[in-house]
């Protein structure tokens, strides 16, 4: 029998529902994998074996509540949990215990899922790395800020994990670690109880083994369809290298070409798409908005606990507080213009496929990597799905991301499932 820790969330839940697997057996398999690998990967901030097994036993005693019943999920440690500490990746909140679950956690409990524990995040989901390592090579970063969740799902410690994205914190680590990830379009998934950084950009995301697994979580969170609806005919796929493509390693171009060939072989209409000229300024505009709003979100910590802040986040707060409002307003004016142009492009093309990251996960743990291929899409509030494609020259994963319209999450997930199948068949 397959080791339960290797099952996708959908496969595991179906076996539990049929009585072929218990939630306890699944949880024990995941805990065994964590015991075997955690010293190397260091993906978890908090995990309590007794608490995990108590939840699993309760799931086994009750009738299935949803297609996620009995399935363990890792929770990024900027997301509040009422029965587990939430430290936001900062020594300032080392002993912080929230009074209530974030909505996304409470909805998982309502669905009968098992809250496995808290996964490592960078400091306040910004750029200062923590201890987590890439499971494919521990000398390389897993990416960030959702480092622990991406690494835990990639290393078969848990079938599902939550992340958040304000710049590239879901799609980039998914690419680096070689897992599927879905970042919702802005407002598509509940954010109550998640520590804000940039309230007009922060978005919840899901790490999983398959696109179909992400839809199970979306169903629990939003009442959306639990099975991705495949397009009735082969889609129109625009290959979009973006204005940042000169910063990509050769393996990124190879991944795009391999993906394009696989999609065309499966019957898709595939062609190169050049973005309108104003899109060239979006990365800089997103960086300005992030600093402006981030500086204001963390002014209390800056005033009252500066000794607990890293130099990097202190510099960001100072930059944001000093930024003229006119620069912030100009950035959003460009964003609104490009949001309208993106809507037009996604009327011509079913999805745009673009790099997820500049290349393989960089060596060393001093940085989580560059979000240059993510900032634009987060700023435009687009839905995004990472799909693993190939291994680069260092043997590490390289992915591409499919882009969908704001509010078009279900359609994008159906398209992503079609693309995922095309890649598998190729």
Average pLDDT over residues 121-148: 97
User: Are 237 and 269 spatial neighbours (Cβ–Cβ below 8 Å)?
Assistant: yes
In this structure, the answer to whether residues 357 and 298 fall within a common structural domain is no
Q: Per the residue annotation, which of 145, 146, 147, 149 is the catalytic one?
A: 145
In this structure, the answer to whether residues 294 and 179 fall within a common structural domain is no
Residues 390 and 254: their CA atoms lie apart, in Å, by 9
Tabulate helix, strand, coil % of the chain (nearest 5).
45, 15, 40
In this structure, the answer to whether residues 339 and 321 fall within a common structural domain is no
Q: Per the residue annotation, which of 5, 90, 149, 169 is the catalytic one?
A: 169
Average pLDDT over residues 31-60: 98
In this structure, the answer to whether residues 175 and 302 fall within a common structural domain is no
Of 326, 350, 382, the position where a domain reaches its end is: 326
Q: How many domains does the chain have?
A: 2
In this structure, the answer to whether residues 116 and 261 fall within a common structural domain is yes
Q: Is 233 tagged catalytic?
A: no
Kindly tell me if the per-residue pLDDT of 177 is higher than 90.
yes
In this structure, the answer to whether residues 211 and 346 fall within a common structural domain is yes
Looking at residue 209, which CATH number applies to its domain?
3.90.1300.10
E runs forming strands in 2-155: 44-46, 72-76, 114-119
Kindly tell me if the per-residue pLDDT of 75 is higher than 90.
yes
In this structure, the answer to whether residues 68 and 214 fall within a common structural domain is yes
Residues 412 and 426: their CA atoms lie apart, in Å, by 21
Residues 301 and 314: their CA atoms lie apart, in Å, by 10
Per-residue DSSP letter, 194: B
Question: Residues of 246-263 as b/e, b for ≥16 C-beta within 10 angstroms?
Answer: eebbebbeebbebbbebb
Q: Per the residue annotation, which of 5, 8, 76, 147 is the catalytic one?
A: 76
Q: 52: which 2 tokens?
A: 């995990």
In this structure, the answer to whether residues 290 and 200 fall within a common structural domain is no
Residues 213-227 have pLDDT tens digits of 999 999 999 999 999
Q: Residue 2's pLDDT is what?
A: 83
Computed from CA positions of residues 116, 202, 414, 148, in that sequence, does the dihedral angle turn out positive or negative? negative
pTM: 0.98
In this structure, the answer to whether residues 6 and 139 fall within a common structural domain is yes
In this structure, the answer to whether residues 295 and 413 fall within a common structural domain is no
Q: Domain residues for 303?
A: 282-326
In degrees, rounded to 5, the angle at the alpha carbon of residue 97 between the alpha carbons of residues 122 and 67 is 75
Q: Is 76 tagged catalytic?
A: yes
DSSP 288-331: HHHHHHHHHHTHHHHHH-GGGS-HHHHHHHHHHHHS-HHHHHHH
Residues 258 and 383: their CA atoms lie apart, in Å, by 22
Q: Residue 1's pLDDT is what?
A: 65
In this structure, the answer to whether residues 201 and 247 fall within a common structural domain is yes
In this structure, the answer to whether residues 294 and 374 fall within a common structural domain is no
For the chain, the average pLDDT equals 98
């Amino acid at each position: 029998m397959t080791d339960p820790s290797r099952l996708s969330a959908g496969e595991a839940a179906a076996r539990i529902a049929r009585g072929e697997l218990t939630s306890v057996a699944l949880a024990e398999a995941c805990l065994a994998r964590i015991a075997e690998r955690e010293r190397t990967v260091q993906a978890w901030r908090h995990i309590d074996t007794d608490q995990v097994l108590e939840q699993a036993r309760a799931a086994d005693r009750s009738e299935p509540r949803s297609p996620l019943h009995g399935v363990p999920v890792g929770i990024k440690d900027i997301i509040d949990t009422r029965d587990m500490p939430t430290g936001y990746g900062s020594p300032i909140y080392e002993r912080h215990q929230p009074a209530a679950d974030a909505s996304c956690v409470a909805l998982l409990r309502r669905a009968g899922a098992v809250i496995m524990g808290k996964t490592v995040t960078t400091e306040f989901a910004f750029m200062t790395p923590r201890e987590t390592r890439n499971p494919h090579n521990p000398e390389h970063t897993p990416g960030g800020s959702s480092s622990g969740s991406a690494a835990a799902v990639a290393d078969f410690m848990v079938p599902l994990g939550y992340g958040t994205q304000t710049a590239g914190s879901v799609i980039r680590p998914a690419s680096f670690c070689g897992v599927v990830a879905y970042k919702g379009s802005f407002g598509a998934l509940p954010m109550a109880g998640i520590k804000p950084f940039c309230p007009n950009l922060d978005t919840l995301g899901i790490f999983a083994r398959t696109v179909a697994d992400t839809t199970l979580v979306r169903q629990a969170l939003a009442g959306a369809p639990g099975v991705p609806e495949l397009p009735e005919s082969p889609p129109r796929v625009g290959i979009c290298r973006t204005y940042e493509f000169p910063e990509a390693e050769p393996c990124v171009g190879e991944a795009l070409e391999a993906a394009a060939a696989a999609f065309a072989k499966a019957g898709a209409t595939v062609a190169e798409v050049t973005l309108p000229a104003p899109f060239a300024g979006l990365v800089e505009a997103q960086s300005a908005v992030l600093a402006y709003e981030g500086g204001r979100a963390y002014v209390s910590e800056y005033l009252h606990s500066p000794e607990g802040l890293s130099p990097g986040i202190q510099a960001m707060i100072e930059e944001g507080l000093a930024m003229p409002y006119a620069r912030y307003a100009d950035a959003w004016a460009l964003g609104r213009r490009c949001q309208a142009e993106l809507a037009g492009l996604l009327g011509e093309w079913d999805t745009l496929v673009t790099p997820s990251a500049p290349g393989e996960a960089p060596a060393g743990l001093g940085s989580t990597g560059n979000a240059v291929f993510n900032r634009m899409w987060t700023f435009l509030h687009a839905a995004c799905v990472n799909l693993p494609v190939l291994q680069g020259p260092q043997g590490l994963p390289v992915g591409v991301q499919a882009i969908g319209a704001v509010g078009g999450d279900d359609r994008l997930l159906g398209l992503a499932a079609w693309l995922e199948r095309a890649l598998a068949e190729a």
